[in-house]
A and B are shown apart, each in its own frame.
Chain A
Amino acid sequence: MVMSSPPLSPPADPQTSVTPTPPPLGAGGFLRWMWRQLTSMRTALILLFCLAIAAIPGSVLPQRGTDPVLVQEWIDNAPTWGPVLDRLGFFDVYAAPWFAAIYLLLFISVIGCVLPRTMHHIRALRTNPPPAPRRLERLAEYRRFELSTDSDLSTAGQSTVTLDAVASDLKSRRWRVSRGDNEHGGWVAAEKGYSRETGNLLFHAALIFLLLAISYGAIFGWRGNVIVREGGGFSNTLTQYDAWGGGRLVSGDALDPFSITLTDFKVEFERDESQRGSPLLFEADVIVQPAPGEEEFTDVIRVNEPLSLDGAKVFLVGHGYAPRMIVRDAEGRAVYDDASIVLPQDGNQTSIGVIKAPDALPQLGFQSLFLPTAAVDNVRGPHSVFPDADDPAMFVSAWIGDLGLDNGVPQSVYRLDTETMTQIGLEAMRPGDVWDLPDGVGSIEFVDVQRWASFQIAHDPGKEPALIAAGVALVGLMLSLFVKRRRVWVRTSQTDSGATVVEIAALARHDEADLADDVNAVQATAEGGAR
């Protein structure tokens, strides 16, 4: 499937035949018929539209790749259709087999069309333009005029001089020119704009390479997410990531051993009434060590300014709060002392978090609702009204019992399994507050508020090839749309009275071109060359 202009020759190729022929009998014939159908422009067009339609569900339904939690909610809320759609791949459309089938068929169709056309084009590049058709006057752009007789030259001489002038002029303007003579005079045939087809083929070939580059990046690339608290750090090993995904041929053990420390995280939010709360500034000050033993350097990571390291880029993708909490048991022993990460639930950073103190006896667990700028109303209950920590408060619910950590089932650090626990109280706290838990089982202290930043660290070896392929595709596309492929013929003959008649005609190989300029130029040369 290549964007094509109507061929100059009669439509012999199956691409343009109108009625599809029925499949012939026999395996070989049937395969050939299938191949012709697949590589026909009509099939390619239908596949293009299938691709467009197939892409739509991914923009309507939540997708696993971007929001797995939302996907699960959706499925839970639609017990009939959810699992069915899930099995059909509708929550991971762009990795679904049917989506892949469409674009792979499309690309096979492209290859099946590009290859023969490339061969054809290479042949055309080596062939001279064919002589003028017998009836030039049938062409859209046609001129016919007589040269004024010249006393110094015979008619034949005048014809030769004219054609020579036209031919050399066209050659100097980079037309491909062929020249011939016949009993009445002679002819010049010229063609230009081969780069239209070159660009066309380049565009389609570049799209194939783009797909290969994307696949290469998917196979050899990896991506991980990590949350880092102020003052904390992380090093690039698999165990330190909160989430990590790599291509099929990536070993998680051989990541580049850089490490990063988050020294400071700055945020600013719009305080004016209009668009209040929208972020103005995110800035992460970091200390980077490219490899153990190597020299450290400082850097600032901003939203549009990732940190580029050997083989990976570090992007700032999110932020939140980490209130520092101390949990003490009945004896006053600190069994938990850490800045605990809470996860934002809305644009004003109303956040939830969990604290687990397995070393307390019995075990203690806390669910917390953290509000950087606290407000309480009857409809929404406690919530945050501004994303910055202007007036932080925390609603803590305390649980006692068995945290369920010892039964070997992995647990999320952001979720408290309350099945084997009992709620013992609920308290609103401000920084500095200490809440003595009921029955003297211990206490919890809200010390102060820190921030965390989340980073995405990505390595995609396919992105540079993909960019090059996309650039080549764009150049090819522009050549194929803006270059005019056209032929010009000039033919001389004699009238009965012995005067030299010049005929000029031009033909575009696609119906968009305006050829008057070309014909005017040739006419000027023909008239001038005869003098």
Chain B
Amino acid sequence: MTSASLAEWSNAAVYASMVVLTLSMVAFAVNFSARGTRGTQRSATVTTAMPIAVAVGAGGNEPVASPVAEVIDDPRGRRAGNIGLALAWLAFGLLLLGTTLRGVWAGRVPWGNMYEYSLSSAVAILGVYLIWSTRRDLRFLGLLVTGATLLTLGLAVTVLYTEAAQLVPALKSWWLIIHVSAAAVCGGAFTVAAAMAGLYLWRERAERKNSVTGSVAKLPTASKLDMMTYRILAFAFPLWTFAVIAGAIWAENAWGRYWGWDPKETWAFITWVIYAGYLHARATAGWRGRRAAYIALLGWVSFLINYFGVNLFVNSLHSYAGV
């Protein structure tokens, strides 16, 4: 295969993946909006977002309220969700193929400029979601995740597209693979967590107002959403810590200092501090639930500023965007 046709195949795979992803998104939308036959809700006692930790020795605690039962029987929506998930896997495979071909074409890891970062980020978002979905029913999250992935890919192929070029000398290092892949997986996890936190806020509001009807009734309970947001951030936060440390080691090797408050480093630090705040907030009275979810969203915004803002608009040592 000539290198030109490798590039064409890579682009074709990315476009095919976008088409499949669009179909997947439609399926997830149907899954979300399809009306099933609704049963009565068993109990609406859950008004607080958090599962109440049972305090031993404290005595006299109320029994833990049972979560609101999900009583919607919706075979059509379920089928649509399954189709969406299957299509998402197919899109993931195509995207992986497109990204890999791009790397083969360029003769290096496929993250040398913003276009390639965006491909890798899309792989990460979809990958984190799909791998997690093998362990849990996450069909309710499919619409937001496929939407975010499509948006990333859309930006990649329209605004950010660049021909493959060789790496600038500053990027020729093993740390490129370690540091950037860790950061990309974190980006995927932060995005999935932000989607989850957003859904939590929606569901929590509905539960607080005692109006869990319609699409919001298809979501897991607020406490479950809160828990899942925590789980994914508890995975992403140490990885982000690692990515920052790996970046510092690399910076020491390339620039002669491990930390120099370059804008990228500054925003990585800000992101780290916000997510650290999230983890602390979940353990602080008065900050759990809603406020913690807002902090998780804030962390994601900070990550986006770091990813797009610093690469495109700020003069930084990390400006390798090539657009």
Whether B242 is near chain A, meaning CB under 8 Å from some CB there, is yes
Q: Is A144 an interface residue (CB 8 A)?
A: no
- Cβ–Cβ contact B245 & A275, under 8 A: no
In this assembly, does A18 line the interface, its C-beta being within 8 Å of a C-beta of chain B? yes
Which residues of B are found within 8 Å of A392, using beta-carbon distances?
none
Chain A nearest CB from B182 CB (Å) reads 12
User: In the assembled complex, how far is the CB of residue A140 from the closest CB belonging to chain B, in whole angstroms?
Assistant: 6
Please name all residues of chain A whose beta carbon is closer than 8 Å to the beta carbon of B231 when the two chains form the complex.
Answer: 512
Decide if B261 touches A58 in the complex (CB within 8 Å).
yes
Report yes or no: B56 in contact with A507, Cβ–Cβ below 8 A: yes
Given A8-B56, A63-B261, A66-B262: A274 in contact with B162 (beta carbons within 8 A): yes
Q: Counting CB contacts under 8 A, is A249 at the interface?
A: no
Residues of A within 8 Å of B270, CB to CB, are 52, 55-56
A59 interfacial by beta-carbon distance below 8 Å: yes
How near does chain B come to A429, taking the closest CB pair, in angstroms? 31
Q: How far is the CA of A483 from the CA of B58 in the complex (A)?
A: 25
Q: How far is the CA of A478 from the CA of B240 in the complex (A)?
A: 12
The contact string, 1 if C-beta is below 8 Å from chain B, for chain A 267-283, is: 00010101100111110
Q: Is A94 an interface residue (CB 8 A)?
A: yes
Distance of A477 Cα from B242 Cα, bound (Å): 11
* Residues A304 and B61 in contact, CB atoms below 8 Å apart: no
Q: Which of A27-35, A401-409, A466-474 contacts B (4 or more CB under 8 A)?
A: A466-474
In the assembled complex, A317 has its CB within 8 A of some CB on chain B: yes
A279 and B284 contact, Cβ closer than 8 Å, known pairs A133-B57, A477-B237: no
A356–B183 alpha-carbon span in the complex (Å): 50
> Which residues of chain A are within 8 angstroms of B310 by Cβ–Cβ distance?
59
Knowing A304-B172, A511-B53 are in contact, say whether A48-B162 is a contact too (CB < 8 A). Answer: no
Q: Is there an interface contact between A315 and B230, defined as CB atoms closer than 8 Å?
A: no
A278-B168, A470-B245 known; A66 and B255 CB under 8 Å? no
Chain A residues with CB under 8 Å of B241's CB are 473-474, 477
Cross-chain contact B256 with A306 (CB below 8 angstroms): yes
Residue of B nearest to A512 (CB): B230
The answer to whether B237 and A481 have CB atoms under 8 Å apart is yes
A285-308 contact mask (Cβ, 8 Å, vs B): 1 or 0? 000000000000000001111100
In the complex, are the beta carbons of A306 and B238 less than 8 A apart? no
B279 within 8 A of A: yes
Q: Measured between C-beta atoms, what is the minimum distance from B236 to chain A in Å?
A: 10
**Residues of chain A within 8 A of B285, CB atoms compared:** 11, 16-18
Q: Is the CB of A9 within 8 A of B173?
A: no
Residues of A within 8 A of B260 (CB): 65-66
Among the listed A3, A42, A303, which residue makes an inter-chain contact with B254, where contact means beta carbons less than 8 Å apart? A303
Task: Tell me which residues across on chain A come within 8 A of B287, comparing CB atoms.
Answer: 42, 45
B261:A280 contact, CB within 8 angstroms: no
Residue of B nearest to A458 (CB): B256
| A49 interface contact, C-beta 8 A | yes
Given A42-B284, A56-B270: A6 and B55 interface contact (C-beta under 8 Å): yes
Any chain A CB within 8 A of the CB of B266?
yes
| B279 contacts across to A, CB distance below 8 A | 3, 481
Chain A residues within 8 Å of B50, by CB: 511
Partner of A304, one of B254, B258, B284, B322: B254
Known contacts A41-B280, A45-B281, A511-B50; is-contact A133 B56 (Cβ 8 Å):
yes
Q: Given the interface contacts A48-B280, A66-B262, A512-B231, does A481 sit within 8 Å of B56 by beta carbon?
A: no
Complex contact A278–B165 (CB within 8 A): yes
- Contact across chains for A45 and B64 when beta carbons are under 8 A apart: no
Interface residues of B in 279-323 (CB under 8 A from A): 279-281, 283-287, 302, 310, 314, 322
Q: When the two chains form their complex, are residues A18 and B266 in contact, meaning their CB atoms are under 8 A apart?
A: no
Known: A1-B280, A3-B280, A42-B284. Is A304-B169 also a contact (CB below 8 A)? yes
Could you say which residues of chain B place their CB within 8 Å of the CB of A10? 55, 57-58
20 contacts between A and B (CB under 8 A): A9-B55, A16-B285, A59-B263, A59-B310, A60-B314, A63-B261, A130-B57, A139-B56, A270-B166, A275-B162, A278-B165, A279-B169, A304-B169, A456-B256, A463-B258, A467-B248, A471-B245, A473-B241, A474-B241, A512-B230
Q: Which residues of A contact B (CB under 8 A)?
A: 1, 3-6, 8-11, 15-18, 41-42, 44-45, 48-49, 51-52, 55-56, 58-60, 63, 65-66, 93-94, 130, 133, 138-140, 214, 223, 270, 272, 274-275, 278-282, 302-306, 313, 315, 317, 456-458, 460, 463, 466-467, 470-471, 473-474, 477-478, 481-482, 507, 510-512
Seed contacts A45-B287, A130-B57; 7 additional CB < 8 Å A-B pairs? A1-B280, A9-B58, A59-B266, A278-B165, A279-B169, A317-B255, A481-B279
